[in-house]
Chains A and B, each alone.
Chain A
Amino acid sequence: MTRVTVVGQGPAALFAASLLREAGHECIIVSESEGTLPLWSGTFDFHAPVGDVSNPWSLLDKQPISLSGQEWERLWESLARFERQAGIPVPDLLPSRGRFTITCTGREKPVFMVPAWQYAQEAAQPVWFVGFDGLADNMAAFQCGAYQKHTGVEANYCEIPKPSQWTPTWGAVRWAAYVDSDGGLDWLKRALQKVSPDIPPGWPVLVPQVIGRKFPERNLHALQMATGHPVFEYPLPPPSLGGMRIRDRWVWKLKQSGVQFLAGRVTLADPSGQLSLEDGREWRSDHIIVASGGILGGGLEISVDGKVHDTLRKEVLGSIRVRQDPQMQEWGRLADDGTPRITTCGAQCRGWNPNRDSNGGALILATVSQSLNREGLLAVGPPGAVSERSLSHVE
């Protein structure tokens, strides 16, 4: 059996591990941090230059890595399959249309693959926002006003008073734990029941994404029953329960399937397949997949002189000081940098800018598939080699 070590625990690492297990390889995940999934609501996005998002498939050639529609489709289906196997409710992707979720500030944000608990719509429609008094990101009045202003569509909101247990230390995770409890769910049901006569028929009810860490489906279903309206969550800034739930379930599923998780800082990964951790542990793998993240994830670091360092392989990849604007996304690695056995995927890859292009999901899928292909580790590789596009068009 081929033994593969994946460095990192973010979405790219988990996706790589799932593909590796599916192809029958032995997989070890080693990471010094919990990964970046809890920083996001858990949507995977696919929209190159924002604009016409009604048909993401028409924008394929705008992605930094060129894949055919069929290849993209297969990758998205793999991700959806892995998430479903882990118990994450992902609706059918196809036929796929561009969709938006709504931020806590009332803005429409393009999304692609969205768990069923999170709100997403193809076109702006009337919605009822719910704010929780005592939640720092509660701004339902503002959210509602901004949504109406930006979309021109009718909307309304209400604010639910704090529960009696509340203290100023309550963050999103504490809120979610409360809603997971019987008392918490009951409190929320009653509060929403009280306002439900005011909600116009057919309007979806949007609640902040703190509706439980373990039982969001059960909780949302209970709220739906209580109000007679479809109830969805809107995403919040980190720590994000959406990403946390996906991480929790996906990691659990991988552990069940035999993936070994190690915590530690990798200090050496060399082309012989040798890996060493700071604490002295070491082992050999047939392949090393580096998914340790970009500057945010910690795979890249910037020194005082502006140089971009690969923290694992201790190499300088460039400098952010070559231009006035710090385009931090444009430094990083290519999957194939000529090093045998070691390949890079995820946010450490060069040429992607999900802040600008809303394509963080595509970044994960394309770079992981490219890395595993390069190592010949995919069960059924896409026909032909994946081409590395010229980066000039993303400037």
Chain B
Amino acid sequence: MVVVIGAGATGLGVAWDLALRGVEVTVIDQSGIGFGTSGRFHGLLHSGARYAVTDPTAAQDCREENARLRTIAPSAIEDTGGIFVRTQDDDPAFETAWLEGCNRAGIPATRMDPQKVRMRYPEVTGRIASAYTVPDGVLEGFHLMQLVAQDITAHRGTVLTHHHVSAVMTVGGRVAGVAAEGPGGQVHLHCDAVVNAAGPWAGRVAELFGDPVPMHLSYGLMLLFAQRKFPLVINRMKAPGDGDIFVPHQRVTILGTTDIAQDSPEAPAIVQSEVERLMTLGRELIPSLDSWRVLRAFTGVRPLYEGETHAASSREVSRDFKVIDHHARHGPAGAFSVVGGKWTTFRLMAERTSDMVAGYLKVSSPCVTAEARLGSPPAKLAAPESVLCECERVSASDLRAVKGSVDEWRTATWFSMGPCQGTFCAHRVTALRHAVYPDEDPDEMIRHLRAERAKGMIPVLWGANAREYALQQAVRFQTLEEGESL
């Protein structure tokens, strides 16, 4: 029995890999599936081109895993393709290095006439020096995590959410179990090995092993715009920096990102000046950016592994990952950590981690995730009932079908995530929630839903979003009498 801590992409990936090898697994998460970094990214399925110069290992891993994920989980991947644009302000020498890097990593980069770029995508800056297409894609993170979680369950594994691991027990210097606090009190799980895949919380979990892992935490700010402004990913060709990617994620566009060091593993509150800085950088690539309909801002924390060196900035810390056998350091036998890496390479990280765990457990069956197929979930049947979230077309039966917290309802159905940001559905969902889970406090529920939306809307109060926010406030306080207003 193996306990994996963290139900993000990496943790689920490790549990999935082990489950397919016939190992009994339980994934534990303090919150829900994908509530850490895995649910807070820009959605880019890397071709590897972004790291072609600065991080060749990550670039090559990305290229291989990109191709694999397309066959493993086609329903979670959109083959948009991507384009790298060098503006007249960007270093031409970087282009040469970048092409060499792509070549070395086997990433197909095809030159595209800047004129053609302008004609096809007129919102891109007119100051294009050169452009290349690459096989970038878009990864639907929550969808893929759901598919993986389903397959874990299908292989007799367990996903235990809303449980916080408080202790790792050892017997004779070997891992023997974990204790976790959950809504029903403490639970004890006996196990032969523990894998720490807690992302930004990995440093804290490693302390339970008595063998600290140095982490470099930084957060990225992303802006979400309504509408799919481009059919493909637009990257700026320069050393990976801030405000240089636009990702068409389903029906919205995401502008990423920034990179600011922080200590806490929690996604931080959004700083207004950072939003303005990101807009300024985004405008360099898309001059008409101010006219786009902004929906909200969000942040995610990068859990990079610092290793034994101290890099000056997290852009210089490798996006490569590291699997640690704590027994080889100062920890007990059967304790492992996997840190760093990219969403795109989660399967590879899981494979390497599971190889090490399998070796420890003397399990001889090899990794089979590279050949696995994750089908798409059954198509939604249009139930003859009213739609509660009109922006995302979510009905009561869609919500009822999801077992979990109201935030899990949200990430599974996308309710309240559209242009109105919950203005018209938060109270409806609260009422439904109350019918399904009568023990939850509805006043607290609606406050939580409103606060969750306001958090992302307030930093981007301009244009139609400011107007939407004014409407939301008016509906809350002048129609629904929700209580204390601003």
Contacts and interface: CB of A to CB of B under 8 A. Distances in A.
Interface of A: 39-41, 45, 103-105, 107-109, 134-139, 141-143, 145-146, 167-168, 170, 235-238, 240, 294-296, 298, 301-306, 320-321, 325-329, 353-356, 358, 360
15 contacts: A39-B471, A103-B480, A105-B481, A109-B479, A136-B386, A138-B386, A141-B435, A142-B435, A168-B387, A237-B423, A301-B463, A302-B462, A328-B469, A355-B476, A356-B485
Contact of B470 (A136, A143, A294): A294
Nearest to A324: B272
Contact of A355 (B290, B424, B442, B474): B474
Nearest to A132: B386
Nearest to B485: A355
A303 to B, nearest CB: 6
B388 interface: yes
Interface in B41-97: none
B17 to A, nearest CB: 42
A112 to B, nearest CB: 13
Interface of B: 272, 276, 279, 290, 382, 384-388, 390, 395, 423-424, 427-428, 430-432, 434-435, 442, 458, 461-463, 466-467, 469-471, 473-482, 485-486
A142 B481 contact: no
Contacts of A39: 471, 474
B443 to A, nearest CB: 9
A44 to B, nearest CB: 11
B161 to A, nearest CB: 26
A302 B290 contact: no
A325 B272 CA distance: 11
- Interface-central residue, A45, A135, A137, A360, by most chain B CB under 10 Å: A137
Contacts of B476: 355
Given A136-B387, A326-B458, A103 B471 contact: no
Contacts of A353: 485-486
Contact of B431 (A40, A105, A294): A105
Contacts of A135: 386
A238 B475 contact: yes
Contacts of B442: 142, 146
Contacts of A294: 470
A279 to B, nearest CB: 22
Report which residue of A104, A304, A354 has the largest number of chain B beta carbons within 10 angstroms of its beta carbon. A304
Contacts of B435: 141-142
B280 to A, nearest CB: 9
Q: Is the interface of B mostly helix, strand, loop or mixed?
A: helix
Nearest to A145: B434
A360 B478 contact: yes
A326 B388 CA distance: 28
A109 B481 contact: yes
B481 A103 contact: yes
A108 B483 CA distance: 10
Contacts of B474: 39, 296, 354-355
Nearest to A137: B428
Contacts of A104: 427, 480
B424 A237 contact: yes
Contacts of B466: 295, 301-302, 320, 328
A395 to B, nearest CB: 12
A306 B480 contact: no
B185 to A, nearest CB: 28
Nearest to A50: B481
B486 to A, nearest CB: 6
Contact of B462 (A141, A143, A306): A306
A163 to B, nearest CB: 13
B479 A327 contact: no
B462 A303 contact: yes
Contact of A298 (B272, B467, B469, B473): B467
A136 B427 contact: no
Contacts of A306: 272, 461-462
A304 B279 contact: yes
Q: Which of A103, A146, A170, A355 has the most C-beta atoms of chain B within 10 angstroms of its own C-beta?
A: A355
Nearest to B477: A355
Given A134-B386, A238-B475, A139 B427 contact: yes
A358 B485 CA distance: 11
A301 B481 CA distance: 26
B467 A107 contact: no
B279 A326 contact: no
A68 B384 CA distance: 56
B470 A328 contact: yes
Contacts of B473: 328, 355
Contacts of B475: 237-238
Contacts of B290: 303-304
Given A39-B471, A109-B478, A168-B386, 7 more contacts: A40-B479, A135-B386, A295-B466, A296-B467, A296-B474, A353-B485, A355-B473
Contacts of A137: 427-428
A394 to B, nearest CB: 12
A238 B272 CA distance: 31
A150 to B, nearest CB: 9
B100 to A, nearest CB: 38
Given A142-B442, A355-B473, A355-B485, A326 B461 contact: yes
A321 B272 contact: yes
A236 B424 CA distance: 10
Contacts of B479: 40-41, 103, 109, 235-238, 240
A319 B294 CA distance: 18
Contacts of A304: 276, 279, 290, 462-463
A168 B384 contact: yes
Contacts of B384: 167-168
A336 to B, nearest CB: 25
Given A168-B387, A304-B290, A108 B428 contact: no
A180 to B, nearest CB: 20
Contacts of B467: 295-296, 298, 301
A240 B474 CA distance: 13
A109 to B, nearest CB: 4
A145 B438 CA distance: 11
Contacts of A107: 480-482
A170 to B, nearest CB: 7
B115 to A, nearest CB: 30
Contacts of A41: 479
Q: Which 4 residue pairs across A and B have the least CB separation, nearest first?
A: A139-B431, A142-B431, A109-B481, A355-B477
B205 to A, nearest CB: 34
